[in-house]
Structure 1
Amino acid sequence: MLQRLIADVKESTGHTVRLTTLALAAAVGLFFTTCFLCAAAFVAVLQRYGLVAACLTGAAIFFVATLIAAASYMARKRALAKQAARAAEATRSAAQSLFADPMLLASGLQVVRMIGVKRLVPLLAVGGLALGLLARGQMSDSAEAAE
């Protein structure tokens, strides 16, 4: 069980590092492409209209690029917040429906009577830890599936 958990963490970390490296390479390529396109636009406007117009054109190009980046950032942030709220609501409703089941409550009371409260506390602590790890793994899996 522990080996599988460690292997999952290693695999997840490896995927994250690879994806981050690819995103960084794409960002560097996009940066240089944008630099050369801006330089070409600057030179073309400089030859046709003069220095002031060329500088204003360069500023306008970077301003538009900044607005696009800010808008995409805000849209992504809102989408992630909505997804997190949906996941939290689903987790809460699933937990509430389990505890509202009378058969589950009756079974729980019988287990407490059989085992005893003093022996049950460490078992509940381990079970709560396992449930937390399971819920965290399911939330990260659903976040990866949404992307």
Structure 2
Amino acid sequence: MLDKFVDDLKESAGTAMRLTSLAAAVAVCLFITTGFLCGAAFIAVLNKYGPVYACLAGAAVFFVCAAMAAICYALRKRAIRQRPVEAAKSTLQTALGDPIVMATALQAVRIIGVKRMIPLLAVGGLALGLMSKRPSAKD
């Protein structure tokens, strides 16, 4: 039971790392592309209409980019709020409901001692709380 839980945790961490690095690369490429497009548009408008209209056109391009980013952010936040209960919580509930896991935990407490288990349980509870608030990689 715990093996499945650990495997799910490793898989979701690896997936999150790959997706984060991919998203960072895409963001950098889009930023560079936007910079060159804005430069080209600025020079084209500058040659045809003058510096004031060129600056206004550049501001308009960045305003459209910012508005699109804000809309994407709002849609993402709404999608996160509408998600059902995460799979990690159900896996944890299944693990804690297993009598073998509970017997093993009680045996570990008896061997290690209650005074030494309190800091371990505090750190484990903190890690569990942070993990349960994190979005699932399968969604």
TM-score by length of 1: 0.56
Residue identity opposite 2:50 in structure 1: G
How many angstroms apart in 2 are the aligned matches of 1:43 and 1:31? Answer: 18
Q: 1:82 to 1:7 in 2, by over 3 A?
A: closer
Give 1:80's aligned residue: 80
Give 1:21's aligned residue: 21
Would you tell me which structure has more helix in proportion to its own residues?
1
Matches within 5 A, 1:14-93: 14-84=14-84, 87=85
Unaligned runs of 5+ in 2: 90-101, 107-127
**Percent identity over paired residues:** 51
Q: 1:140 to 1:67 in 2, by over 3 A?
A: closer
Structure with the bigger RCO (C-alpha within 8 Å, sep 6+) is 2
Q: Offset at 1:81? A: 1.4
Q: Offset at 1:140? A: 5.7
Q: 1:24 to 1:51 in 2, by over 3 A?
A: same
Residue identity opposite 2:34 in structure 1: T
Q: Runs in 1 of length 4+ with deviation above 4 angstroms?
A: none
How many angstroms apart in 2 are the aligned matches of 1:21 and 1:37? Answer: 24
Q: Offset at 1:75? A: 1.8
Residue identity opposite 1:24 in structure 2: A
Give 1:106's aligned residue: none
What SS does structure 2 have at the residue aligned with 1:83? coil
Give 2:138's aligned residue: 144
How many angstroms apart in 1 are the aligned matches of 2:10 and 2:135? Answer: 15
Q: Offset at 1:8? A: 2.5
Deviations 1:77-129 (A, max 9, x none): 12221224xx49xx9xxxxxxxxxxxxxxxxxxxxxxxxxxxxxx77x98xxx
Q: 1:4 to 1:81 in 2, by over 3 A?
A: closer
Residue identity opposite 1:19 in structure 2: L
What SS does structure 2 have at the residue aligned with 1:144? coil
Q: 1:72 to 1:60 in 2, by over 3 A?
A: same
Matches within 5 A, 1:98-117: none
Q: 1:75 to 1:37 in 2, by over 3 A?
A: same
Q: Which structure is larger by alpha-carbon Rg, 1 or 2?
A: 1
TM-score by length of 2: 0.59
